[in-house]
Every structure is written in C-alpha cells, then in structure tokens.
Amino acid sequence: MRLNTRNRLIRDEVMSEGSIDQAAVHVREVIRRAIDLGSAAIILVHNHPSGDPSPSRADIEITRAIAEAGKRLGVAVHDHVIMGSSGHVSLKAQGLM
C-alpha cells in the first residue's frame, strides 16, 4: 500500500506473485514504485498460503532491507503485515522492524 504524507492510501497494488512457498521481491522495485507514485510511506502486506502468518527469516530480512532503503530515500515503511487463514501478524507490533 502506498501512502501520502497524511497516511492516506494512494494505491494498493500487487508487486509480486509467488509460488506455494516463496515469492521474488526486489527491494529496488518496491522502493522505485513508491517513489514513482510520490509515496511518503508504504505498508507491506503478503499472505502465507500455509495459513500460518508467522514471519519467516526471509520475511524479516526483506522487510528490514526495504525499510533501510526507504529510509535513505525518504520513504517510510510503517509496517509489514502477514496474512494467514489463522489470522495475521504485524512485524512492527512484534518488534521485528
């Protein structure tokens, strides 16, 4: 989700589609799209087809990489939410970002 300076939604779009156990997400593409849209901030969201929304090591690493790149370029990452059939997990609420 792309947000303006008032944290209002600019656009909600799919950046990547994956297979049953992984998706290719590129830091540069996420941040580039945010800059192209004039986003002040983004919220990352993805699902876990397994149903378990617990973040993987890869989820945590990519979140931190996107947040660091965004910080350097003036795009805040407010949260990364993982959805599953048993609920959802906020990486921010879990202190993982």
Q: What is the pLDDT of residues 50-85, one digit of tens each?
A: 899 999 999 999 999 999 999 999 999 999 999 999
Domain assignment present for residue 95? The answer is no
Residue 48: which domain range? 2-90
Examine residue 7 and state whether it is found in any structural domain, yes or no: yes
Structurally, the chain folds into a number of domains equal to: 1
Pairing mode, strands 2-3 and 76-84: unpaired
pTM of the complete model beyond 0.85: no
The burial of 92, by beta-carbon neighbours within 10 Å (0-12 exposed, 13-18 middle, 19 or more buried), is given as middle
Tell me: the pLDDT tens digits for 13-47?
777 766 666 678 899 999 999 999 999 999 999 99
Instruction: Look at residue 51 and tell me if it is in a domain.
Output: yes
Cα–Cα distance, 59 to 46 (Å, whole number): 10
Residue 14 lies in a domain: yes
Q: Please report, for the domain that includes residue 67, its CATH number.
A: 3.40.140.10
Q: Is residue 43 part of a domain?
A: yes
Between the alpha carbon of residue 13 and those of residues 3, 48, 57, 95, the distances in Å are 12, 17, 24, 25
- Longest Cα pair distance anywhere in the chain, in angstroms? 36
